[in-house]
Amino acid sequence: MHGAVPPGRSLPIHARDLVRMHEAVMAGTRPPVRPRDIVSHSWSRMRQLGLIADRVNERDFFAADEVARRRSASPLRDVVDRIAGMFTATSDAATMMLVVTDADGAVLWRAGAAAVRRRADALGFTEGADWTEAKVGTNAIGTALAEAAPVELLAGEHFEQGQHAWYCSAHPVHDPRTGEVLGVIDISGPALSLHPAVGVLVETATRLAEAELWRSHQERLAALRQLAEPLLAGGTGPALVVDDDGWVAHRAGVAVGDRIAAPRAGQAVAVPGLGAWLPEKLADGWLVRPVGSGRTVLLDLDLSGTPVLRASSGDTAWCRSITRRHAEILSLLHAAGPAGLTAAALSRSMFGDPGHLVTVRAEVSRLRRLLGAVVATRPYRLAEGVRLTLRPGR
C-alpha cells in the first residue's frame, strides 16, 4: 500500500494542499499538487457517474434484516472478533474506527471510539451503508473494490468535500482458495491523526483474516476426510473425496493435484491424465470415482457466438457456456503452448500491462473451479493430457 503522505512531508501542510488540489481540479484550474493516478482515475469515474463533489450525495442503506443476512453469509463473520480485538489493543484506537464490508461495499461491522463513530454517522458512514464509489464517491473502501488493491486516501483526495476531514486506509480481503474479493477491512479517522502505522495495521489485519480463512478451509477438509474414511476403507480402485469447490480432501490409489473441477450431480468431471470421473454426493462433499477408459481430455471451444466449451474423455462428454474472459484465457494458453504464461504475461495479453495480477489470478481461479486441473499453474498452461480445438467466430 502506498501511503497518502509522501516521505518527509508535514501531515497538516500536505492535508491542506490536498484540499486546495481538490478545489482547483474541480474548478478547472491548476492545482498546487498533482493528484495521484489512483485518485485522478477515480475522480474521472465519479464525474462520469454524475456525482457532485460539493455536497453529500444521496446515500443508500440496507435494511437491518438484510444487514443481518449479509453478516451471516459473509466468510469474514468468523474473523471479525479477532480483527476487532487486534484493533482495540492498539494505543491509537481512541482516534480511529475499524470498518469491515462485504464484497459489495456494504458496511457490515464497525468498531472504535464513540466520538469517531458519531462523526461517521453524520456522513452516513454507518452499518448498512453502501460505501461504493458509485454511491459516496472516491473513498478507500469503494476505490479498493474498484481497483482490487489496497488504497489509502487523505483529506482532499476524497471526491466529496464532506469527507475531507477524514483519512481512510483500506485493504481488500481475498479468499485464499480462489483469489476472489470477500470484502474490505478499513481504518478511518480524523485527517490530521493519520499515522504511517495505520496502513501496516490494516495490512496485518488482512493477513490475519486470510490466514484464518485458510485454516478454516483446512479444518473443513480434515473433517470431510474423516467422514469419508469408512466409505473408502473396504473399497477397491481409485477414488477422490472433494468439497463442493473441488478441493481434494482425500486420495485413494491415485496421484492428483489439490483441486479438480467443482462437482455437479450427474455430470462427469474431466481430470487431465486420468480421464472422466463421476461424482457422488456425500453429506459435506463428494466421492469421485473414474468412469470410462479415456485418459485424454478433448476440449472444443466454439467462439462463433456466446463461448461454448465441449469436453470429452472416453465415452463421457459435457457441454457448457463460459464467459468471454474465460474463453480469452483458454485461447491465450492454447497459443502459448507447453511453455505457458506467467500471471504478468497473461495480464499483459489481457489488459495491455502487467499490473492486473490480482484480477488475472482471480479469473484463473474461477476457471479452475469450473474446469479443475485442466488449467495448470506456475506457469499457467493447459495441463498435460489436454487437447484444445478452437472454433473462431466469423
Q: How remote is the C-alpha of 207 from its chain's centroid?
A: 14
Residue with cell 456425500: 282
Mean pLDDT of 83-87: 92
CA distance 294 to 309: 19
Name the nearest CA neighbour of 270 among 253, 248, 294: 294
- Residue 178: pLDDT over 60: yes
**What local confidence, expressed as pLDDT, does residue 294 receive?**
53
Q: What is the pLDDT of residues 220-235, one digit of tens each?
A: 999 998 887 776 765 6
Which position has the higher pLDDT, 179 or 26?
26
The confidence band for 267, taking pLDDT boundaries of 50, 70 and 90, is confident
Mean pLDDT of 261-279: 79
The confidence band for 318, taking pLDDT boundaries of 50, 70 and 90, is confident
In the three-class reduction of DSSP (H, G, I as helix; E, B as strand; rest coil), residue 259 is classed as: strand
Q: How many CB atoms are closer than 10 A to CB 171? A: 26
- Residue 293: pLDDT over 60: no
Q: What is the pTM of this model?
A: 0.76
With beta carbons less than 8 A apart as the criterion, state whether 343 and 377 touch. Answer: no
CA distance 102 to 104: 5
**What local confidence, expressed as pLDDT, does residue 292 receive?**
58
**What local confidence, expressed as pLDDT, does residue 295 receive?**
61
Which position has the higher pLDDT, 232 or 48?
48
Q: Are strands 181-190 and 97-102 parallel, antiparallel or unpaired?
A: antiparallel
H or E, element range at 263: none
CA distance 296 to 387: 8
Q: What is the pLDDT of residues 349-361, one digit of tens each?
A: 999 888 888 888 8
In the three-class reduction of DSSP (H, G, I as helix; E, B as strand; rest coil), residue 312 is classed as: strand
Tell me the domains of the chain and their CATH numbers. Answer: 11-215 (3.30.450.40), 236-394 (no CATH)
Q: What is the pLDDT of residues 103-148, one digit of tens each?
A: 999 999 999 989 999 999 999 999 999 999 999 999 999 999 998 8
- Residue 5: pLDDT over 80: yes
With beta carbons less than 8 A apart as the criterion, state whether 232 and 239 touch. Answer: yes
**What local confidence, expressed as pLDDT, does residue 1 receive?**
63
Q: What is the pLDDT of residues 320-331, one digit of tens each?
A: 889 999 999 999
Mean pLDDT of 146-166: 95
Least confident span in 78-87, 207-216, 228-237, 242-251: 228-237
